[in-house]
Chain A
């Protein structure tokens, strides 16, 4: 097991990602933040709080469940427990920033884009991830904002721990 980001590094990374968002979206007039359930939401909760602290405004923030959009329902895996989708605003003509903790094969993001489009037609969609496992992609999907890029093999696992849920802030690579 190897630590990729400790508590301090994770904090700095989150600050940087937030500032990058501000750099690109300046006043957030047409920008909304959407976290992917279940674990992307823990990241987007943090980003949303940081954004509010810096910009002093409420940026529309929603949560998206992609369970019914997955392409592996019949792959013999145990079925995933669906979570709530909570998008209390229209995404029509908005710049959507999708947020997830780990980008791996890209299939989750593919499902998320399908799910998103059932709620309206966004002007643009960007992707923010904390960890990018860059050599594991199975689809042509790349992130716009990356906390850290790591080179991993398929048998390894990246686990992101959050204080709110797991009692510590840490990102580790498990062999």
Chain B
């Protein structure tokens, strides 16, 4: 049992079987996390560096907990307050970290493709924790894992991704991941926030959020990534909330119970209302819980590839 890849750069490169292997392993780790002693000694001999060039709360804590639950040694690095501000290049920074005998690198970077670039230049296994507007593979895995937990096999299930599709790495990774698992995917949001020709990835496009909700069994609602929008793409947040925000009234009018997901951080009252985010239908906190098990599975499976002990 092992993955077909040495790094987890994007879902795009994964085989469907890899995703199932990760899920099966995560099932086991989820069991470990429910015990009194939530820790196994599997990676005692592994050191992992979390290299974050962009802000993060959930992903970073989740990765760090996953590493600690596996008994790996962890070093954390964030760009602010580091030598990056003195002009050091990405390769130099990472090579310096690796020189201190680190086996694996978890990286978040604002430039799309940065992990691929790094993978070409260093030997250690790399896990992409989000690169620009490209991919966020572990988020997509934990999203699909959470859906699988509630719905079983995802083949033929209808999933709507709603919000800022254009600037969301979560959206792209989700589209790849759900596609490989055989689910039907729809993206919904204002035309300015949906990339042209996205149908080429095999997804439906809808601009009416209500219609998208009527169609789907699961709605994954995404945050408006204001920090990545360099020109105005809609007039005001209030207008966005009015036309594209998901509220309780909408959900109640559906005559069915759909699952509500959100990768966080939530902007309450913009893309999603509090009464929806905190409702029974919401599995937002299940997603966060599953994130640790999924990341344990990914790190564990990739650690077999780092060539330690050979």
Contact = CB atoms under 8 A, between A and B. Distances in A.
B42 A68 contact: yes
A69 B40 contact: yes
A83 B27 CA distance: 10
B31 interface: yes
Interface residues of B, number: 27
A168 B310 CA distance: 38
Nearest to A78: B2
B304 interface: yes
A76 B40 contact: no
A74 B28 contact: no
Nearest to B45: A74
A75 B309 contact: yes
Interface residues of A, number: 22
State the majority secondary structure of interface residues on B. loop
A66 to B, nearest CB: 10
A70 interface: yes
Given A67-B28, A84-B31, A73 B42 contact: yes
B35 interface: yes
A69 B41 CA distance: 6
B41 A82 contact: no
Interface string B284-307: 000000000000000011011011
Contacts of A78: 1-2, 304
B40 A74 contact: no
Nearest to B308: A74
B304 A73 contact: yes
B14 interface: no
Contacts of B37: 118-119
Given A73-B304, A74-B304, A76-B309, A85 B31 contact: yes
A78 B4 CA distance: 12
Given A84-B28, A85-B31, A114-B41, A74 B303 contact: yes
Given A74-B306, A76-B309, A78-B2, 8 more contacts: A68-B32, A68-B70, A68-B300, A73-B45, A82-B25, A84-B28, A118-B37, A119-B36
Interface of B: 1-2, 24-25, 28, 31-32, 35-37, 39-43, 45-46, 70, 300-301, 303-304, 306-310
